[in-house]
């Protein structure tokens, strides 16, 4: 997502990231992003959108999470400070101007994020 800001802007889309962290932690996490970032430490938005929390197998020990983590380390990326509810799984949605859901992705594990091309394709409709 970090490098896709211009593609979303080019399509006239506004991107908002929601974190389960405090406002201060959210500001730190989102520094340098081209998106709006919203803090939701009470996880009200997550519940409203039906995004579930994970467990040890879906957040920490899932083989795909471990594989992606090892690849990120090999590429020089490091895990930042953990903030908010570490068990909260992610979700991704494309909502049009009339409030209709054009795309919904409910993660099954912490590393289960949709490809940016899917989000952009939903915008292209």
pLDDT digits (tens, 9 = 90+) for 55-86: 887 777 778 867 877 888 888 877 777 778 88
CA distance linking residue 89 with residue 59, whole number of Å: 8
Name every residue whose Cβ is closer than 8 Å to that of residue 13 and which is 6 or more positions away in sequence.
94, 123
Whole-number pLDDT of residue 20? 95
Whole-number pLDDT of residue 37? 94
Whole-number pLDDT of residue 110? 86
Q: What are phi and psi of 94, to 5 degrees?
A: -115, 120
Whole-number pLDDT of residue 23? 96
Cα dihedral value 26, 109, 1, 105, nearest 10: -110
Residues in the chain: 125
User: Which residue ranges form the domains of the chain, and what is each CATH number?
Assistant: 5-124 (3.40.30.10)
pLDDT digits (tens, 9 = 90+) for 20-51: 999 999 999 888 888 899 999 999 999 999 99
Whole-number pLDDT of residue 1? 66
CA distance linking residue 26 with residue 45, whole number of Å: 15
């Amino acid at each position: 997502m970090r490098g896709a800001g211009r593609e979303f802007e080019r399509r006239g889309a506004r991107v908002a990231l929601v974190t389960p962290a405090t406002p201060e932690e959210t500001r730190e996490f989102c520094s340098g992003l081209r998106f709006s970032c919203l803090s939701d430490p009470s996880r009200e938005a997550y519940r409203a959108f039906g995004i579930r929390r994970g467990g040890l197998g879906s957040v920490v020990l899932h083989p795909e999470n471990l594989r992606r983590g090892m690849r990120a380390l090999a590429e020089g990326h490091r895990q930042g400070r953990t903030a908010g509810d570490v068990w909260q799984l992610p979700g991704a949605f494309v909502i049009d101007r009339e409030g209709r859901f054009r795309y919904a992705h409910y993660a099954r594990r912490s590393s289960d994020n949709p490809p940016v091309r899917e989000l952009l394709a939903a915008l292209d409709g």
